[in-house]
Structure 1
């Protein structure tokens, strides 16, 4: 759920907090330019009351809230609001309409995620994958399928990630890792208890961790050295995991491209030689 939805739907605000909340929603595009003192003055409230609101919706304070809101508003510029990411089409639609719906879903998903990407984070993740002795990928369900595609791409350029969750031995895998390895968690909701246990083990062993998730409150975010958090656009009553898997696939494709670019001519020649034998 995004910030604006949280502000609209939150049920536990005090009357003072609700008054501040109403002002924020009515002046949403001005908040990013306001200091906490200016907001307190405009709402006849206090800094403490504003900070309480921020904490109730999952932020450490006003500064974190304001930054996240600015990013969300920027990403909203790319969103076609006719797209429903959980139910992108309905039974009453004809096949041509469904094709257009799914096309819009793909385009809007990529636009939203692209607006969130941090080049520095992507570069750091790419370098970590390149420089690690072993890359252990933690992914289950539909995320596992997307992870397998990423693994397949890397194998073609002589990088061999290990799918730690392949035989449900992820805790043993985590325990056997060394600081020369890296762990890569791919989980949309970020609530898997096994992953949490793995992350605790990895943190104690000082093993670098990467996470892609849509849950900014996940403990994996706290444990990870580098994290990509995408907007949570799906609800529990979805037709399929369209948005989440398109998002992950797009991010992983960008990471693969960064890795390929790092030693472009070598990878290009290697793949060319490989393709020669595959096509024989």
Structure 2
């Protein structure tokens, strides 16, 4: 942000000016809505110190500085694209910039996931789930939470999914399946041992597997009858949070839910009103 860079580059600043600079850099969005008196109070300095600082930055005064700061913030926000999924924000980013980056990451992730969707695959998967005698869902850790939300949505329209939270019980659950059922398995890597064990049991029972994963060549994908790919951009060793994959998985599950809902729209509207 050019305006903040100008502040950082100023030489021969006083103690009070340094305090003002620190506050502005940490809170640029707050500063644009503050009066010179409010800023002086927040930084325990004086209005004259703020004016001198602004003039050192080649501005006529605090008002001109704020105008430039607003333009600088708007420009930076509008230029935010191609977010790093492993580290979507930086240490010095303001709260508002972080909010924009997370928003942009979500938009880019949904777009990338949508581009991987096949209309025919989506249509046949929805048909398969609706016509299945039973639908099982397998996911561990965060993926279980995504599936649990999916299950709750479907309960509102009287559509039940069999799943359990305990890991050992998830494996036992697979033994109840047969070829008239369907299974949804969510795994980013598609390589986790527990996931593969469940997938193998479904496969042995001839239960069609719908896999949501990032790797079309993973062991899970090779056992699946339908694969919904999610963008493969996260590095497990570098990423501190699975923001992108969570958004992608939720988008696919929400899409499947919406398509199931639409198939019996009038009746499902009545179910949700009762809830």
Query: Which TM-score band applies after superposition, normalised by the shorter structure?
Result: 0.5 to 0.7
Alignment of 1:18-37 (within 5 A): none
1:173 offset after TM fit, Å? 1.3
Residue of structure 2 in register with 1:142 after alignment: 142
Residue of structure 1 in register with 2:265 after alignment: 264
User: Contact conserved, 2:143 with 2:187, CA < 8 A, in 1?
Assistant: yes
1:150 offset after TM fit, Å? 0.5
Answering whether residue 102 of structure 2 is matched by residue 94 of structure 1, we say no
User: Contact conserved, 2:209 with 2:223, CA < 8 A, in 1?
Assistant: yes
Select between 200-209 and 112-121 the one with higher mean Cα deviation. Answer: 200-209
Alignment of 1:20-99 (within 5 A): 82-99=82-99
Residue of structure 2 in register with 1:159 after alignment: 159
User: Contact conserved, 1:136 with 1:164, CA < 8 A, in 2?
Assistant: no
| Distance in 2 of aligned mates of 1:162 and 1:100 | 38
| Distance in 2 of aligned mates of 1:151 and 1:219 | 25
1:183 offset after TM fit, Å? 1.1
1:132 offset after TM fit, Å? 1.2
Over 6 Å off, 4+ runs: none
CA distances 1:200-234 after superposition (whole Å, capped 9, x unpaired): 22222211111000022211111111111122011
| Distance in 2 of aligned mates of 1:99 and 1:171 | 39
TM-score (norm 1): 0.67
CA distances 1:58-82 after superposition (whole Å, capped 9, x unpaired): xxxxxxxxxxxxxxxxxxxxxx753
Q: Which runs of 5+ in 2 are unaligned?
A: 1-79
1:176 offset after TM fit, Å? 2.0
User: Contact conserved, 2:208 with 2:224, CA < 8 A, in 1?
Assistant: yes
TM-score (norm 2): 0.68
What do you get for the CA RMSD once the two structures are aligned?
A: 1.5
Higher-Rg structure is 2
1:161 offset after TM fit, Å? 0.5
Provide the secondary structure at the position in 1 that maps to 2:168. coil
Provide the secondary structure at the position in 2 that maps to 1:233. coil
CA distances 1:149-193 after superposition (whole Å, capped 9, x unpaired): 100000000011011453522222112212221111011111111
Residue of structure 1 in register with 2:171 after alignment: 171
User: Contact conserved, 2:183 with 2:207, CA < 8 A, in 1?
Assistant: yes
Residue of structure 2 in register with 1:245 after alignment: 246
